[in-house]
Structure formats: structure tokens, C-alpha cells
Amino acid sequence: MSDAKSDGKTAWDDFEALLMTMEAHQVSKVFDLARRLKPGITHEDMRNPHDFPELGDTDWHFEDGILTGIQTVLTALRARRRDASGERETSETSETSEAP
């Protein structure tokens, strides 16, 4: 069973697009909350929350943890996709090399 759709997209593409949408939404949510806690904070500042005591807020840490989870799943999906395509390429190569 092929995972290719009639438009050339795969289930991998659909999952990745969904996760990227979720990631963008969560980044916005985390940033908006950070801005309420510390006006003027930048995206770069949020990468070092320990430098900003205002970001010690439990709600902000919860939302940031959700973002980390989404990013972890996105990374795992991309790695699995790469591994799966590598397995196909390897099996296709060995089938070709076994031909008389």
C-alpha cells in the first residue's frame, strides 16, 4: 500500500503540515503570554527564560512545555520519514543489484 495521494502529497506531508501549523500557533501563544509577563521580550529572549524571572510563571512554563512537545514530535516525524525513505532506497538498490 502506497502512502502517495493522487495529488502527489503523502501522509507524511499532511502530518508535517499539521504539526507545523500547531507549532506556529503554540509559538504565538507562548510569545503572547511572555509579552504579558515581560513587555518588550523578544523571541530570542524566550530561548533563555532563566534570564527573565518574570518567565518563572507556571502558565508560561506549561505552554512552553506544550511547544517543546510539538517540536519534539515534529523532529521525530521528520527523522522517521527520512529513515523510511532511506529504507526504500536501500531495498530498491539491492533489488536492482541482484538482477542478472
Average pLDDT over residues 63-69: 97
pLDDT of residue 86: 80
pTM, full prediction? 0.76
**Model confidence at 52, in pLDDT bands (50, 70, 90)?**
very high
Q: What is the DSSP string of 52-86?
A: -GGGG-HHHHHHHHHHHHHHHHHHHHHHHHHHHHH
Q: Encode pLDDT of 83-96 as tens digits.
A: 988 866 555 555 55
Rounded Cα distance between 9 and 14, Å, is 7
Q: Encode pLDDT of 16-43 as tens digits.
A: 999 999 999 999 999 999 999 999 999 9
Q: Are 77 and 16 spatial neighbours (Cβ–Cβ below 8 Å)?
A: yes
Rounded Cα distance between 100 and 96, Å, is 9
Average pLDDT over residues 48-53: 94
